[in-house]
Structure 1
């Protein structure tokens, strides 16, 4: 079971852009908890709590208990964050409420194991990661923190596919009907040396030496008439 993180929230009474701006003027981040065929709950958060979660990384795969002051505690996923284009501060947070028994759609990061012992990498191969995250349907109580792929026996030319993913959580990939590629191990790129430059052709001056001929014609005293 993935860790559930508690985050405090205050209730908001009104929706709309004007109400959201008023919430921001109070130093809070407006948000909403929606889904599970229930009415949306308007909330506001301390921006420090939000930034703490965003800085952790992988927040889209974390479960949250949104504890509304004087209201319900909602079990939810953080789905979307809108940022100020200038300050990069969060402007609005969307949480998706979890319905009992429902699977959730999440992106799970991929980690690669035993890169230092991979025969392909040890001989100069290059790991090309096609998907750093895999989108899956998962039980809310069994969302994996990451997927792992073992490179311990991977050689140059190998393709690491979904079937190579170590998944003990019973997730199902959103991509269905094929064993899709997650990464490949390619041969190293060989850069050929440029051909050596041909020696410069002798200059015409060195062959005919017109300057030397001119000096030879003027060598010695002039004849008297």
Structure 2
């Protein structure tokens, strides 16, 4: 789950200038080697305004097939600013989460349309690009209970837990010897310009032997991304054979 961060107004203003510089890096750098979002899931989330909040209101929304949600204003929006109460369609959120996976849903930008009427695409109250910030699912059914979105204009810097995708298991020297992959991290937190949020981080295991590991500083990402965790923190390690496997071989 992504953590909320309170920023002072002065820091918030400085971040706009930093983001402009990061955007320049994004447009000038060679980015073809880095993962890009799959256009297959470039879906517009449809919402309607919600006038008030509270348990009874939320229960009515869920009964009507909607998910109570909020759009906040960038990183410090949860404490004020341009906040909008909305409700989104439960079926649409469930479909996106099922197709993408929870971690990938929370690291992907979406266009969001707030309409006066869901069925009327012409009556748009607001159209905005957003990043899903928090997602609560029912513990038994995985039904979406509420979603928090954060506005993601091009000049925004956003903290994102980016999912990790491992590849090269089939040729890893250590894994071919019968060792196993100890996955220590499944996401890594970066401060990302909104236009450069990667859908995932590609981690290559093809040269790892038994006992070797990859740390966060080894990950190859766009130069505009700033790591928010220690670069020496381990991501994964190739471990020797499991005790149970050793017993089987005897």
**Common fold, TM-score beyond 0.5?**
yes
Match of 1:117, SS state, is: coil
Instruction: Give me the whole-angstrom Cα distance separating, in 2, the residues matched to 1:25 and 1:146.
Output: 34
Q: Could you give the per-residue CA deviations for residues 81-138 of structure 1, whole angstroms, max 9, x where no partner exists? A: 2334454322222111235522111111212222111111111222111111111111
Of residues 1, 14, 30, the one that matches 2:68 is 30
1:132 matched to which residue of 2?
186
Distance change >3 Å, CA 96–CA 161, structure 1 → 2:
same
| Equivalent pair of 1:67/1:74 in contact (CA under 8 Å) | yes
CA contact (8 A) 1:5 1:62 kept: no
Give the 3-state SS of the residue equivalent to 1:94 in structure 2.
strand
For 2:52, which of 8, 14, 24 is the aligned residue? 14
TM (norm. structure 1) is 0.76
Distance 1:131 1:86, change over 3 A: closer
Considering fraction of residues, name the structure with more helix.
Answer: 2
Give the root-mean-square deviation of aligned CA atoms.
Answer: 2.3
Work out whether 1:188 is the aligned partner of 2:241.
yes
What residue ranges of structure 1 are gaps of 5+ in the alignment? Answer: 194-225
Is the contact between residue 32 and residue 43 of structure 1 (CA under 8 Å) also seen in structure 2? Answer: yes
1:46 counterpart (89, 112, 135):
89
State the match for 1:149 in structure 2: 203
Find the structure with the greater CA-based Rg: 1
CA distance in 2 between counterparts of 1:80 and 1:139 reads: 19
Question: Using the alignment, how far apart are the partners of 1:158 and 1:87 within structure 2?
Answer: 39
Structure showing greater relative contact order (alpha-carbon pairs closer than 8 Å, 6 or more residues apart): 2
Number of residue pairs the alignment of both structures matches = 193
Structure 1 residue 102 corresponds to structure 2 residue 156: yes
Query: Quick check: 1:149–1:164 contact (8 Å CA) kept in 2?
Result: no
TM-score normalised by the chain length of structure 2: 0.69
What's the CA shift string for 1:15-61, capped at 9, x where partnerless? 22232223233332221111245331111122111111111211001
What secondary structure, in the 3-state scheme, does the structure 2 residue paired with 1:21 have? helix
SS at 1:14 equivalent: coil
Q: Which runs of 5+ in 2 are unaligned?
A: 1-35, 116-123
